Amino acid sequence: MLVAALGAPVALLPAGAVTAGYLAVHRDSTRQSTCQESLPIEEAKVRTVRWDPPEELPDLGDYPRIRWQVRAKGNPCSRAPGPADWAYQGVVELRPEDARALAKRYGFVAYDPVGSEEYASGRTPEDVWPALAPFLPSEPRWLTSRVYDELDTSTRWRIVYLDVAHATVLFMLDDH
């Protein structure tokens, strides 16, 4: 009698496991396809919220405007374990006095595309994402500072271009 009473639930155990496995895989693939569909939409957004944490872009002052985007460097929708890496680009409009102070404090010098080729490979003003390009000055005079870029205030690789005359910063941050 005990075998008969336990036999039915034990017989149903494999069927329940198969059903649970199917539901878990189906639910995960639905979540993954939703992620794949929303990723391009999120990457296309030009965000205007203040940069957080501000330590990643120190000494910009009380800037009046920022526009930035984020893009996945890999597949954040993958079921593989581990973090996804992200790239960020943005344009910050500074107050003129903050632009001058930033240039002076960190020794910004004229941007030389040839001289910084190895250092800033793939992260130059020419590589700005199309949605951010309209927010750049029409005839910028970019300055760079390795001192600023290599500050240890961020866990991300940082490249910053400053145009003092237009009080504009172009930043590029990459997870590593």
Question: Model confidence over 105-157: pLDDT tens digits?
Answer: 999 999 988 777 667 777 899 999 999 999 999 999 999 999 999 999 888 99
Which pLDDT belongs to residue 25? Answer: 45
pTM for this prediction: 0.79
d(CA 149, CA 56): 10
The residue whose two tokens read 């203040």 is: 50
Residue 52 sits in the same domain as residue 40: no
Kindly report, residue by residue over 12-54, the tens digit of the pLDDT.
444 444 444 444 444 555 555 788 888 889 999 999 999 999 9
What are the tens digits of pLDDT across the range 73-109?
888 888 877 778 999 999 999 999 999 999 999 999 9
Indicate whether 78 and 39 sit together in one domain. no
Q: Contact at 8 Å (CB) between 142 and 59?
A: no
Whether 38 and 73 map to the same domain: the answer is no
Distance between CA atoms of 95 and 62, rounded to whole angstroms?
7
Whether 63 and 135 share a structural domain: yes
pLDDT exceeds cutoff 70 at 60:
yes
Per the structure, the complete domain to which residue 39 belongs is given by 1-44
Distance CA 166, CA 64 (A): 13
